[in-house]
Structure 1
Amino acid sequence: MGLFHQNFDKPGPGVSPDAPRKKGAARFFEILGRDFSTIWMAGLLALISSLPFALLLWLAVSTHSLIPMLAAGILGGMIAAPQIVGLNDTILRSLRDEPGFWWATYRRAWKRNVKASLLPGAVCGLLLAMEIFTAFHLDTSQSVVPAVAVLVALILLAGIAQYIYAQVALVEVSFGGLLKNALMLFLGYLPRSALGVLWQGIYWAAVALFWPVSSFAVILCSLWLPCLLNLMAIYPALDKSFDLEKTIKAMRDAQLNSENEDK
């Protein structure tokens, strides 16, 4: 616990309400300069919790067995999901320039979202495990159609899952509502959705291409780098659809007014 108290419980400096928000690379480096330690820690927790998924899937591919694949997808996905949602929550708060004590906020958000994240984690984990397992057992010498089908499935899963996990961190809605909203957001903001998927694809393609050398980069960048780039791409769509910053501002104002009345 000393680690969190010493390095990760400092309140964020926030941003002046009159300061124009930076965009693109300037915004990326602004966020990293201000919140790197908290984002990295949330990413590390998400990466560690994803190890059961990765190890079981490796066992499934190595042994050509469906049982480890199913376990990787369902159990591994459920184990990783709360921390993936926690990473999304941390980055979304950073994108909103929301100050606060990270570890206390992370734990509170984790407890609030853990149950809601399990079913999305199991479903998305199972689909991802099935797609990766299938990709490793394709025979492209006869036809490239199955390979193209798997690639399209991976793209669609990445595009929809990015909105599912973000929604779990932001709103309370049923799983059916999550899927419906995710599909509508994916199609309604297709250019931004595609950019988010592109960032994820570039990152994981680079990891796979340069493995095992890239393992060092995975320790440093874990899951936070693709998640940050992805959420930067789709954040305007989320903000416009859910009025995030307007709602958060209203909640803060109400809290401040309540505190002033109590004094």
Structure 2
Amino acid sequence: MKIFVPNFDREGPGVDKNEPVKEGISLFLYILCTKFWDIIKLNMLFILYSIPIITIGPAFGAMTSITMSMVQNKHIFIFSDFHEAFKVNWKQSLISGVISIIFFILLSTSILFYFKLSQNNPKFYIILFTCIFIMILFSFAWLYVYPLLTTVSLSLKDIFKNSLLLSIVCFKNTLIGAVTYGIILGLNVFFFPLTFPLFLFLTFSLLSFISSFTTWAGIKKFIIIDKQHVN
């Protein structure tokens, strides 16, 4: 007796036509719950494709492509769609990943360097706070990089430029996404190795889903719709 197997042939109440359209946190939780097992499979696929290390960028791009499809309510085949997105976006995803890593390393090093100098000379606080501001701004913009890269056809220059502009124009969504992203990532890192199973099965794809969900509205409104009007 298959107790836990749903019966799709059984009659049910269906979808209430008068049911209000889900949005915001209710929509987020609805998609998260309905796609939860796909998100777990997606996380494992991301880790598998990232094993050569150099493929982390393309794997992240492929994962973002899937989570962007989830938030757009598109029908997806996790394995085949992931592999296809990996092949299609590998070049831009790789270059974007390298640029992002270099930028984060340079900014982190600069912040530590000027923090030490500022202890002896307060004048360096100006440079320190400037570096911190740039780091925060770049972190906000980075939320949009891979969602843009996998959704619309743009040059890398335009991807980073539009990511920065969208992070400012859609500041409310950007802030919510960045804070949620930072809290989840921070907790996972802080409690490591206790969170090791989460890294294996959930963390990366969940973060990608959060990024996709919070950035999609801005991308749809200011990039896709505007582009359609131009055409």
Q: TM-score with structure 2 length normalisation?
A: 0.74
Q: Give the counterpart of 2:210 among 212, 229, 250.
A: 229
Q: Is residue 185 of structure 1 aligned with residue 166 of structure 2?
A: yes
Q: Is residue 22 of structure 1 aligned with residue 22 of structure 2?
A: yes
SS in 1 for 2:75: coil
RMSD between superposed Cα atoms in Å? 3.2
Runs (4+) of structure 1 exceeding 6 A deviation are none
Q: Which residue of 2 aligns with 1:44?
A: 44
Equivalences for 1:114-133 in 2 at 5 Å?
Answer: 114-132=90-108
Q: Give the counterpart of 2:187 among 194, 206, 223.
A: 206
The 2-side partners of 1:100 and 1:208 are apart by 30
Q: Give the counterpart of 1:110 among 63, 80, 86.
A: 86
Number of residue pairs aligned between Structure 1 and Structure 2? 207
The 2-side partners of 1:49 and 1:103 are apart by 11
Aligned amino acid, residue 181 of structure 1: N
Instruction: After TM superposition, give the deviation of residue 239 of structure 1 in Å.
Output: 1.3
Aligned in 2, Cα 1:131/1:47: closer, same or farther, shift over 3 Å? Answer: farther
Aligned in 2, Cα 1:124/1:162: closer, same or farther, shift over 3 Å? Answer: same
Aligned amino acid, residue 107 of structure 1: H
Q: TM-score with structure 1 length normalisation?
A: 0.66
Q: Which residue of 1 aligns with 2:148?
A: 167
Alpha-carbon contact 1:160-1:186 (below 8 Å) kept:
yes
Aligned in 2, Cα 1:25/1:183: closer, same or farther, shift over 3 Å? Answer: closer
Q: Which residue of 1 aligns with 2:60?
A: 84
Task: Deviation per CA, 1:149-204: give whole Å up to 9, x if none.
Answer: 55434322221111111111011211111122112111211121122211121112
Aligned amino acid, residue 167 of structure 2: F
Alpha-carbon contact 2:38-2:78 (below 8 Å) kept:
yes
The 1-side partners of 2:46 and 2:130 are apart by 29
Aligned amino acid, residue 219 of structure 1: L
